[in-house]
Chain A
Amino acid sequence: MSTEKHHISTYMSHGVVLTILLALTALSVGMAELHFGAFSVAVALLVASVKGTTVLTYFMHLKYESMFTRIMVGGVFVIYVLVIVLLFFDYLFR
């Protein structure tokens, strides 16, 4: 039921994405030294989300997929956000 479309990314774009991911990993490690207190987990999750989005967009070709597929992946992200919010909701009101 689908029309197959193929897209080949350039080595350059892969290299740039890889560099960004490595830089964000270094940032994650570095932030552990900065002590954000109650927000440390939130900041770590934010950086991880940016990394995840980058991988999905470029390495997993979400950028070239249909709007339907992108919305579905967005829905997955919303589920994860809601799960994390509910989890921290408990800690906030305990």
Chain B
Amino acid sequence: MSHSETHPQVSYLEYQGKYKGILGWLTTTDHKRIALLYMYCIVVFFFVAAILGLTMSIEKMRPGQDIMNAQTYNGLFTVHGIIMIFMIVIPGLAAVFGNFALPLLIGARDVAFPKLNLFSWYLYVIGAILAVLSQLLKGGAPDTGWTFYVPYSAGSSTNVIWALTAAFILGFSNILTGLNFIVTIHRMRAPGMTWFKMPLFPWSLYATAWIQVLATPIVGITLLMVIAERVLHIGFFDPALGGDPVLFQHLFWIYSHPAVYIMILPAMGVITEIFPTFSQKPVFGYGAIAISSLAIAFVGYFVWGHHMFTSGISYWSKWFFSFLTFIVAVPSAIKVFNWISTMYGGSIQMRPPLLYAISFVFLFMIGGFTGLFLGALATNVQLHDTTFVVAHFHYIIFGGMGFAFFAAIHYWYPKMYGKMYSDRWAYIAWGFTFVGFNLLYFPQFIIGVQGMPRRYFDYLPQFQWGHMLSGFGAFILLIGLILMAWNLIYHVKRGAIAPANPWKGVTLEWQIASPPTLENFEEIPVIKHNPYWFGTEEEIKREKKSVTRNT
């Protein structure tokens, strides 16, 4: 019996399984529906955390106390950080677009463990509920910052344990997703799809998944140790109990620096899918991009100490971590050169996904270059714990992962919903988002260099111009985000019907219906070409010769 006989060929959005309606969604094991469940949660939490960020910006538009007191401000930046990092940025691209696109890109019907996939989402929801409760329960929102640095977090009277438990559970959700992806990529690639015939988004998810599986348990145990220290008074990290606070920083950053690559590697993967599609030519340097993902993941394990240059670690450790930090820039630069080279000589269509992808490269480059200032020992001491770090971090995470998320949703939206959004509104939303983002964060580089500390509720009047510009930027950014959300939500029902392949993409997801059926492929495809094959071999050779001649 063929698959089409066992499962009627309706889209995954229309498919009625054992349960209908909401219950059908809450019990689904379909990777595409689980991706959407993640996406809806993440978008809601994103707007909550963005509003928190906006109120922080409003408070700082003038020196002194305006709309909140110092303790509320401490709670706000902690809550903003915990939601953004643990509930949005870390799961973000992998859980949403990894879940949606990975099986489609490798020619599989689902991930390897569909029930475990749904369980991961439930763990995510439980962790998210605990994180929200930590803000609302008696005791007050945690005020430690998302880094939970000991000894302060061991003694703070706020709801730190709730937040730690939430981060622990969210971490487990992440581990299980990573495990699922590793097995899926190893075991479920379509016949003929060798490792080097696999698209590059799965390559980046594969590198990410190894970090998720290997690094996340370390922070899980570390957070449990803080809980044990608070509850049982075991002296792991608190000097008053005989512990070592620098050990906490080591263990925290052994995970949390690779976590930056959990955030950014899938972003790079998304961008790598978009450039060839909208340039209508094969990706430049396929092998280099694939291997650079693994190289980033590998070297990324050994650079955590650059977060600790002022914490009192040894001279030789500083030297070593600084050196490795510069090394990790190499594979990142390889990717950027390859993206630009992919566009070179291509038939470029400047549609919204490509606009966001190019913005990603621009913002990620600013974030990357300013990271070199922080990786260098001498400048790090000057810039440590200033708003320069905040700006750098947001250029990497929001400018990088955030804009890649926007690029991904604009790219795969027709496949997800079978509808087209308005390009015009997408361009307008992009304009607000891009201008607002830069106005919000770029001034923080400058006042940071001038000495404005991060996480400060009040400041000297000389920094007001920077905070004032940031405040205006935050409003403009929020307008852009609202416009983008409206454009995408409105057109789910009212958009024009999307064809199966609106962007003329060549990877497997564009060869099936929009939206896909429950099991994606009626027959599992047999792979013969590399994933970015746009024509005959002769055509590709001719194109290469022409590019070389022009060069």
B298 CB contacts on chain A under 8 angstroms: 79
Bound-state CA distance A64–B179 (Å) is 20
- Smallest CB-CB A-B distances: 6 pairs: A93-B314, A1-B189, A90-B317, A94-B314, A93-B316, A90-B313
A82-B301, A94-B317 given; 19 more Cβ-contact pairs under 8 Å: A1-B186, A1-B187, A1-B190, A76-B210, A80-B214, A82-B302, A83-B301, A86-B302, A86-B317, A89-B316, A89-B317, A90-B250, A90-B305, A90-B313, A90-B317, A91-B314, A92-B314, A94-B312, A94-B313
Bound-state CA distance A93–B191 (Å) is 52
Whether the pair B254, A87 counts as a contact (CB closer than 8 A) is yes
Is A2 among interface residues, defined by CB-CB distance under 8 A? yes
Bound-state CA distance A83–B189 (Å) is 32
Q: Footprint of A on B, CB under 8 Å?
A: 186-191, 193-194, 210, 214, 246, 250, 254, 298, 301-302, 305, 312-317, 320
A89 CB contacts on chain B under 8 angstroms: 314, 316-317, 320
B189 CB contacts on chain A under 8 angstroms: 1
Knowing A2-B187, A93-B316 are in contact, say whether A79-B250 is a contact too (CB < 8 A): no
Report 25 cross-chain contacts, Cβ distance below 8 Å, ordered by A residue: A1-B188, A1-B189, A1-B190, A1-B193, A2-B187, A76-B214, A79-B214, A79-B298, A79-B301, A82-B301, A82-B302, A87-B254, A89-B314, A89-B316, A89-B317, A90-B246, A90-B250, A90-B305, A90-B313, A90-B317, A92-B314, A93-B316, A94-B313, A94-B314, A94-B317
Bound-state CA distance A39–B190 (Å) is 50
Bound-state CA distance A92–B313 (Å) is 10
A80 CB contacts on chain B under 8 angstroms: 214
B319 vs chain A, min Cβ distance (A): 10
B-side interface mostly: helix
A73 vs chain B, min Cβ distance (A): 11
A90 CB contacts on chain B under 8 angstroms: 246, 250, 305, 313-314, 317
Q: Footprint of B on A, CB under 8 Å?
A: 1-2, 69, 76, 79-80, 82-83, 86-87, 89-94
Bound-state CA distance A93–B320 (Å) is 12
Q: Which residue of B lies closest to A79 (CB)?
A: B301
Whether the pair B214, A86 counts as a contact (CB closer than 8 A) is no
Q: Which residue of A lies closest to B197 (CB)?
A: A1
Bound-state CA distance A76–B209 (Å) is 13
Q: Which residue of B lies closest to A86 (CB)?
A: B302
Bound-state CA distance A87–B248 (Å) is 11
Q: Which residue of A lies closest to B244 (CB)?
A: A91
Q: Which residue of A lies closest to B188 (CB)?
A: A1
B317 CB contacts on chain A under 8 angstroms: 86, 89-90, 93-94
B190, B210, B320: the one contacting A86 at CB < 8 Å is B320
A92 vs chain B, min Cβ distance (A): 8
Q: Which of B214, B305, B316, B317 has the most CB of A within 10 A?
A: B317
Q: Which residue of B lies closest to A2 (CB)?
A: B187
Bound-state CA distance A91–B314 (Å) is 7
A87 CB contacts on chain B under 8 angstroms: 250, 254
A82, A91, A93: the one contacting B315 at CB < 8 Å is A93
B186, B210, B313, B314: the one contacting A2 at CB < 8 Å is B186
A82 CB contacts on chain B under 8 angstroms: 301-302
Bound-state CA distance A69–B317 (Å) is 33
A94 CB contacts on chain B under 8 angstroms: 312-314, 317
B316 CB contacts on chain A under 8 angstroms: 89, 93
A69 CB contacts on chain B under 8 angstroms: 186
Bound-state CA distance A83–B214 (Å) is 11
Whether the pair A83, B320 counts as a contact (CB closer than 8 A) is no
Q: Which residue of B lies closest to A80 (CB)?
A: B214
Bound-state CA distance A75–B70 (Å) is 47
Bound-state CA distance A58–B210 (Å) is 22
Bound-state CA distance A50–B182 (Å) is 25
B188 CB contacts on chain A under 8 angstroms: 1
B246 CB contacts on chain A under 8 angstroms: 90
B208 vs chain A, min Cβ distance (A): 15
A49 vs chain B, min Cβ distance (A): 15
B305 CB contacts on chain A under 8 angstroms: 86, 90
Whether the pair B194, A1 counts as a contact (CB closer than 8 A) is yes
B301 CB contacts on chain A under 8 angstroms: 79, 82-83
